[in-house]
Amino acid sequence: MNVLIVEDERSLAKEIASFLKSENFLCDLAYTGREASEKIAVNLYDFILLDLGLPDYNGLDLIKEARKTGSEASFIIITARGAVEDKVKGLDLGADDYLAKPFALVELLSRINAVARRKFNITSQNVELGEFVMEIQSRRLTCKGNLVDLTKKEFDLLHYLVINRDKVLTRQQLYEHIWGNILDDQYDSNFIDVHIKNLRKKLNFHAPSPWLETIRGVGYKISGD
């Protein structure tokens, strides 16, 4: 998933990014409110980790801006501010969680995962897809007990479709959430089509996968209960 880290303490921002990348997240960094505002306006993020005490911006204003522009990103406020009113204001504006500095990176990851479970209505670490079982925690896909040999990006692609079950995702949405943000003139929709084709080939070697649907002219979705 795609994460924007908005933090003016560069060493902390880089430490968070390094940790989350090791946990298979994509990370962008913004050290000022203006930089964060520009990134939020043009990019798709699943999560925004937001420091309220930015040098040029009130972090709460970034939440307001994002909600006005229709951003579906989940906000987790990370700040040294301990005042109850700051926490309440952030949550009232639509922030999903609040983490006071200093914090352990493993706690941050736990908070992100908890928000993701609520956001995507994930009730189990194992997801059934026809005859397949996706083991989210261990990043494995099996079919009748046999391991399906997926690359890291193939698993990420399937996982992102799974957590957005029954929602049509465009090729560009899939690209940005799995491979990172891109410029429009760099985008090639065939890139996603090729990866879906390879993924289907591996799935169909084990069992039919009618639940992985192509929505002609739009993108792809995972269907079914």
User: What is the set of domains in the chain, with CATH numbers?
Assistant: 2-119 (3.40.50.2300), 126-222 (1.10.10.10)
The tokens for 93 are 């504006």
Tokens 């891109």 appear where? 182
Residue 185 has pLDDT above 50, yes or no: no
| pLDDT given for residue 83 in this prediction | 63
49 versus 191: which is more confidently predicted? 49
Cis peptide upstream of residue 208 (ω within 30 degrees of 0): no
SS3 per residue for 4-56? EEECCCHHHHHHHHHHHHHCCCEEEEECCHHHHHHHHHHCCCCEEEECCECCC
| pLDDT given for residue 69 in this prediction | 82
- pLDDT tens digits, 62-99: 999 888 888 889 999 987 766 667 777 888 888 999 88
Q: How confident is the model at residue 124 (pLDDT cuts 50, 70, 90)?
A: confident
